[in-house]
Structure 1
Amino acid sequence: MTSIDDIMMTSTTEDPSYINFSQTTDADYEYTDDLFCDRSSVREFRRHFEPPLYWLIAIVGGAGNLAVVWIYLNFRRRLKTMTDVYLLNLAVADLLFLVTLPLWAAEAAGGHWSFGSALCKLNSALYKVNLFSGTLLLTCISVDRYVVIVHTTKAQNSQAERRRCSRLVCLGVWLLALLLAAPELAFATTARPDAQEFCRMVFPAHLGNRTKVLVLSLQVSMGFCLPFLVMAFCYSVIVATLLKTRSFQKHRALRVVLAVVGAFLLSQLPYTGVLVAEAAQASSTSMTLCEDLKRFDKAGQVLKSLAYVHACLNPFLYAFVGERFRRDVLKLLRACRCRPANQSSLGKSCRSPAGSTRVSVVSDSDTSQALSL
C-alpha cells in the first residue's frame, strides 16, 4: 500500500513538484525514477496482487467486526467488563482501518491516486490511527485478562472501578494513536514520480533521512515491540497460572492463548522486519542493486497484506471464540428472522431481553472461563 509506508523524497528546488528520486530508498514505494531502476514489474505485480486481496480483507473483516458492534449495540445496555469495552473499541478501530483499503485497492488497480491530496492525507492518517489504536487495545485486553485470571480476588472486588478505568484507558489510547499519526497528517500528500499521481509521504529536504528513520522506528516500537512485550509477559503468566489449575477448561484456554499470540506474531512480525529493513535502507542504503530492490518491494507487499489480515482475525480470536458471544449471534439472527418488515413490535417479542444476555470474552465473575468462554 503506497500511502501508508514512509518514503524519503527530497525536494531539490523550491518547486514542490520536483523530486530527486535518486535519494528515494523506500521499498514499498516502487515508483522510483526508472533511470535508476525500472520497477514496472513491481507495479504490475501490485496491480494484480493487491486489489482482490484488499477487497477480500475489507469484506470479511467488515462483516466480522460489524457483527461484534451489532451484538454489543443490540444485546447490552451497558458494557460490563473492561474487555467488553476494549473489544467494542477494537472492532471500531478495525472497521475504520478496513474503510481505507478500497481506496488503496483502487490506486493499485488504476495505477494512480485519483482522490485528491486532502483524502490522501486523511486516508493515510486514518490508517495509522487504527494501526496504533488496534495494537494498543490488544495490549489492554491482554492486561485485563492477566488481572482477571492471575489476580482474581482483586479483579472481583474492583469491577465498577475497573469499568470506569477502561473508558479512560480507551480515551487515552485514541488520543495517543492520533498523536502517533501526526507524521501522516503533516507529510502525506500526492506526488508525481512519473506521469501519474500517487499518495505517499513526502519529507522536506531539510529534514533528511533521519525523519524517515524516526517515523519507521516509531511504528516498529509502538506498533509491535511494546505491545508484544506486554502481551508476552501477560500471557506467559496466564499460562503458568492455568497449568496449576485442574479445570477441564484449562486446555481450551491454553489453545486460545496460543492462537492469540501466534496470530499476532505470524501476521505482524514479518512486516515489522520489512519496516526495520526500510529504516536500515534509509540510514545506510544497504541495498543498491535494482534486482534486490524489486525483490524486496514484492516481498514487502506480500508481508504487508499478511499484516492486514489480522483485522479479519480479531473478531474470531477475541469474540466469536466465546460460547456466550456465539449464542448471542444466533439469538440476534433469530430475532431478525422473526421480525416482519413493517412490524418492529413482533421483533421485540422475538428478541431476548438485553439484560438477559452476556457478551463478554473475559467475565470478571467467571475467571475459570476467562479465555475459553
Structure 2
Amino acid sequence: MMRNMTDPLAALIPTPYEDYESGSTADYTADYTDISNSLCDKSNVRNFRRQYEPPLYWLIVILGSVGNLLVIWIYTQFKNRLKTMTDVYLLNLAVADLLFLCTLPFWATDAVNGWTFGTLMCKGVSALYKINFFSCMLLLTCISVDRYFMIVLTTKAHNSKGNLLTCSKLTCVIVWLLAIVLAVPEFLFARSKEDMDNNKYCAMVYWYNENNRTKITVLVLQICVGFCIPLLVMVYCYALIIHTLLKAKSFEKHKALRVVLAVVAVFVLSQLPYNSMLVFEASQAVNTTITDCNQAQGFDVATQVLKSLAYTHCCLNPVLYVFVGVRFRKDLRRLFHTFLPRSSKGVKQRSSVMMDAESTTAFSL
C-alpha cells in the first residue's frame, strides 16, 4: 500500500532505518528514500558510527581472536580432549566465534569509508555474520543442556556417555545447518546501496509488502532463535544445576555456583539490551510511533551501542566456558611449559583425560 505523500505526518516518518547488521541506512522501498533523507539528516549518526565502531570492533577482534585461538590450539595439541559433549560444543563455539570476528573488520571499514566491496561481498559477509551469530547462540544452549545432564543427571549421563558423544557431533551438524537456513534472508535482502551523498553502504533492503511482513518475520526469527529460546533453556537448565549444587556437600560448590551465575548474567547483560531494541524495531515496523527526526537519530545511536555490547560476548565465551575450568588452565600451562622448558621445572604433569562427571561441580571442564 502506497503512503499518502500529501500527508505531512506520513512524510516525517523515517522510512530509512538502521540496519541491525551493519548499522548502515537501508530503506523499505526506494520510492521514499530521497524524501526521508531530506527531512531527517542522519549525518550525525554516521559521524558517531565512524568514531565509535572501528576502535571498538578492532578491540573485540583482537581479544576474541586471542582467546578463541588459544581454545583451538589446546584442542589441536591434546587430541584426547574431544571426549565429552561439552568439548565438542566448545570447539565448535570457538570456530563460530572466530568466523564471526572475521566479519567485524568489514563493518569497521564500512563505518569509515563506506561499503566498497560490492553487493556480492555484502551478501556473503552479512550471511557469514548471521550464520555464526545463530550458531553461537545455539551452541551456548547446547552447552547448558549438556551441563544439566552432567550435573543433575550424572548417573544417566555416565551410562550413556558413548551415545551422548555421538549425539553431540550430530547436534553440531544440525546447529550449523539451522544457522545457514536462518541466514537465508541475508542472501536474499542484503545488498550494496548508495545514498544521495554518494555514500555506499551494505544493508538489508526488504521486499515492500503490506505491514512490513518480511522485515517483521526476519526480526522475530532473530529475537526468538538468537535470544529468547537460548535464554529460556539456559535459565531452566542452570536453575536445576544451582538446585543440585546447593544440595551437594562439596567444598567447591560455591565456586561452581559463581560460575553458573556469571554465565547467565553475562549472557543476559550482553544480549538483552540489544534484543530489546530489536523488539522495539519490530513494533515500529508494525505501527510506527517515531515521527521525530531527533528521536530517530537517538534510536539509531542506541542501536549501534547496544549492538556492539552484544558483540563482546564472543570475547567472553573463552573466559566463561573454558578458562574458568581446571582442565583447560592446566593444559594451557602444559603448552606454555612445552615451549618454555626452563619454566617447567618442578611442575607436576597430569593427564588431561578426565571424565566430565567426576564431580557435581562439573564446571571444572
TM-score in same-fold range (> 0.5): yes
Offset of residue 5 of structure 1 = 6.1
Q: Distance in 2 between matches of 1:258 and 1:71?
A: 26
**1:209 match:** 212
1:39 counterpart (39, 42, 53):
42
Q: Distance in 1 between matches of 2:287 and 2:26?
A: 13
**1:328 match:** 331
Contact 1:8 1:209 in 2 (8 A): no
Query: Is 1:281 aligned with 2:273?
Result: no
Report the CA distance shift for 1:320/1:19 in structure 2 as closer, same or farther (over 3 A): farther
**1:168 match:** 170
Contact 1:139 1:227 in 2 (8 A): yes
Q: Distance in 2 between matches of 1:202 and 1:19?
A: 12
Contact 1:19 1:193 in 2 (8 A): no
Alignment of 1:131-150 (within 5 A): 131-150=133-152
Offset of residue 366 of structure 1 = 1.1
Query: Is 1:357 aligned with 2:359?
Result: no
**1:114 match:** 116
Q: After superposition, what is the alpha-carbon deviation per residue over 1:202-235, rounded to whole angstroms, capped at 9, x for unaligned?
A: 1223476110011001000000000000000000
Q: Which amino acid aligns with 1:365?
A: A
Q: Which amino acid aligns with 1:245?
A: A
Unpaired runs of at least 5, structure 2: 1-17, 343-347
2:32 counterpart (14, 20, 45):
20
**1:268 match:** 271
Q: After superposition, what is the alpha-carbon deviation per residue over 1:159-210, rounded to whole angstroms, capped at 9, x for unaligned?
A: 1110000000000000000000000011111011231211011122347611
User: How large is the RMSD of aligned CA atoms in angstroms?
Assistant: 2.1
Alignment of 1:186-335 (within 5 A): 186-194=188-196, 195-206=198-209, 209-335=212-338
Contact 1:71 1:328 in 2 (8 A): yes
Offset of residue 19 of structure 1 = 4.7
Offset of residue 116 of structure 1 = 1.3
Q: Distance in 1 between matches of 2:130 and 2:199?
A: 25
Q: Distance in 2 between matches of 1:98 and 1:282?
A: 29
Contact 2:22 2:107 in 1 (8 A): no
TM-score (ref. length: structure 2): 0.89
Q: Distance in 2 between matches of 1:124 and 1:225?
A: 22
Query: Is 1:98 aligned with 2:106?
Result: no
Contact 1:65 1:92 in 2 (8 A): yes
Unpaired runs of at least 5, structure 1: 12-17, 23-31, 340-351
Residue 200 of structure 1 aligns to a residue in which SS?
strand
2:358 counterpart (357, 366, 370):
366
1:159 counterpart (140, 158, 161):
161
2:87 counterpart (56, 64, 84):
84
Query: Is 1:63 aligned with 2:58?
Result: no
TM-score (ref. length: structure 1): 0.87
Length, aligned pairs only = 341
Q: Which amino acid aligns with 1:269?
A: L
